[in-house]
Amino acid sequence: MTNVLSDEDVPLSQRKATATGKISETAKKRKRVTVKNERSISDSDDQIPLKKKRATKTAVVATKTQPSGKKIKTEEKLSKSPASAKTSPAKANGKSKKVNNVAKQTTEPDSDIDEKPLAKRKVKKTVSKTDGDDTSTQEKEEEELYKWWESESNDGSVKWNSLVHNGVLFPPPYEPLPAHVKLKYKGVPVVLPLEAEEVAGFFGAMLETDHAKNEVFQSNFFDDFKEVLNKCGGSHLKIEKFEHCDFTDIFNHYEEKRLQKKVMSTAEKKRVKDEKDKLEENYKVCYLDGRKELVGNFRIEPPGLFRGRGSHPKTGKLKERVMPEQVTINIGSNTPIPQPPDGHDWAEVKHDNTVSWLATWKENINGAQKYVFLAANSSLKGMSDYKKFEKARELKHHITRIRKDYTKELKDELMANRQRATAMYLIDVLALRAGGEKGEDEADTVGCCSLRYEHVSFKPPNTVVFDFLGKDSIRFYQEVEIDPQVYKNLKLFKKAPKKIGDQLFDRLDPPTLNRHLQNYMPGLTAKVFRTYNASKTMQDQLAKIENKGTVNEKYVAYNAANRTVAILCNHQRTVSKAHEQSVGKIEDKILEIKLQRYRLKIMVAQLDPKMKKSDPEYFQPDPELDDATMGRLIDQIIQREKDKVTKKFQKENEKRAAEKEEALSESELKTRMKVVETLEAEYKKERKTGKAEIKNGMTVEKVQAQIEKLNERIVNTTLQLKDKEDNSTVALTTSKINYIDPRLTVMFSKRYNVPIEKLFSKTLREKFKWAIESADENWTF
């Protein structure tokens, strides 16, 4: 009997694509018929040879443009735009293919799927009415927070009904180097065209960094630098080899500027800040349905050299200056269109209310779209976050059935089904990302569906070693015991004729997997599993924490729970260069507190000598406090106090100069410094005599109370040190922002009486205000 392969059992690269991307009825019938005739797959079956996966195309929607109008000058003009202004929906015209397809968000990588519509969905349009005549009421509403989570109409694909904003802020033009600062080639100063000089400056400014010492970075930079030279007419010297280039003068120039900025007076810093704030003022806010909302990243990224993460093949390439002609503006219809810079035009103006971005452009390094969104604490972003976490919560009603099904399919006769089930297991249990194909000039990062032969190895009986570069080129390395059948399947997927470079899951890609997941729950994708498992793990870890101890002890326990989630999601980070120094400072802080405690104990012994006789060990210094260490700590304390006095003196004189008052004299500084000198003499006397100076009114009880306070500080600072050490290689913030439902943190805060300020930074408190106000101490994921 002839063995017939079903469509599902053929590698993706070998299937014939249809015009619509859907399986025809004939193909469906053929699939149902051939399953019966197909031979069973055993663990010894040979695999079909592999080829590259075919690319899939997504349909996108373009919109109609509107002629340019006048730029909105002030917030007052912005607020006068009626909230009920009608907006024409986006029309498909087949142009501007990727502008509305927000599938690849480079600015907001972890925002909800609804932030990235691939196609419009038909929904009932709900327009909130606003009394345009009542200006005072409107202004009051603009200043108050819009509590969208208390509204009943926030579940459509229409993001807004009116949108007014001032566009984007472009970086300042290039400031040429002084005439005496030049790139040298073979020791000879080179006069460069301004465009090339700017690029040389990018490299020169970072000459002493690790990036500039990276050979790939150097090669990519130099290739682009020569290209700019050729385009601009070059220089009087032909620059051919990187090793003959000397950027030292350029580096010294920018280093001097950095130092000048560092020593700026308070008044100068304030002046610079005020100028910057004034420049940015018009771009910081927009009006969405008449409500004042903050704009997030309203600045166009400045030109520079691309760094990339990990071993990115394009590190060092030139990030070109973005021109207005590359920027598409999205704004409400019947509203003034922001004016581009003089002499320029926008690439396009859209009025698409099914997307939440205000502007977009394509960067030249990876060809990715960049977007300007509202701020993290805006209503649109809040709704997006809320829907993302609610989608993950909904998964808990389906997860048992999903796990039952994929466990059964681990032994399925169809190879495609078996691969899909194995991938689902890895995505669910190990929290792997789905992964997708990468181009040759992209970083070689992979996920589950793009795992290759060399990324997996085995240790019998059922331990698998995963070793690959994940998102942002962060290494994923795990030795993990897995389900025996999954172990067998992975060995089967590696079987000859597969070799290094071949894909394990050659019959599966993320779109195929996600289409399958839609059968269980609308909107379910592989990404939802990470959010679900992260939040579920956090909830389980928090439940283990006992509601006792100090706030700091509970905080450290919370971070330990967060760390478990971060490890699950492979949110690693390299230990920073400043980590060792930071740890050293905390260790010294603990020693200084112990030194102060020892001094107080000496006072107790002097006030009540009998206590020392009854418990001599109590009055001994801590083992770490040997004579040399105490001397070092005292010198450190005295120097710090001197620095404080000097800094305060300088700030007062800066303030006096700004107010045109007479400066304080050096004699005043000497007078103030006498307090520190007295303290220094006191320390020296104590070390020499072994006795402390007892102030008037000091009693044993008062000193012991101070000792208890120092004991608490030692415990808390030691906890801080442990927390810092434990989290040195794990990034907690990524999972806290993107994967852990914020309502779990709010629940923990309220149930365990830990101030939310300790758990969420100010930025996160604003971003997750909806969670803080909607969850209580009994909330569950």
**DSSP label of 305:** E
User: Which three-class secondary structure state does DSSP give residue 656?
Assistant: helix
Q: Answer yes or no: 739 catalytic.
A: yes
Question: What length does the chain have?
Answer: 781
* Distance of alpha carbon 342 from alpha carbon 334, whole angstroms: 23
Residue 722 backbone phi and psi in degrees, to 5:
-60, -45
The full DSSP string for 387-403 is: HHHHHHHHHTTTHHHHH
| Residue 754 buriedness (CB in 10 A; 0-12 / 13-18 / 19+) | buried
* Cβ–Cβ < 8 Å for 541, 563: no
Q: Which of 185, 487, 739, 752 is catalytic?
A: 739
Strand order, beta sheet including 291-294: 163-164, 285-288, 291-294
* Distance of alpha carbon 22 from alpha carbon 31, whole angstroms: 14
* Cβ–Cβ < 8 Å for 85, 331: no
Residue 154 Cα to chain centre, angstroms: 26
Residue 220 Cα to chain centre, angstroms: 26
Helices (H) and strands (E) in the chain, counts: 24, 15
* Distance of alpha carbon 746 from alpha carbon 379, whole angstroms: 19
**DSSP label of 86:** -
CB contact set of 506 (below 8 Å; sequence gap of 6+): 11, 12, 13, 47, 48, 50, 419
The full DSSP string for 590-650 is: HHHHHHHHHHHHHHHHHH-HHHHHH-GGGGSPPTT--HHHHHHHHHHHHHHHHHHHHHHHH
Catalytic residues: 739
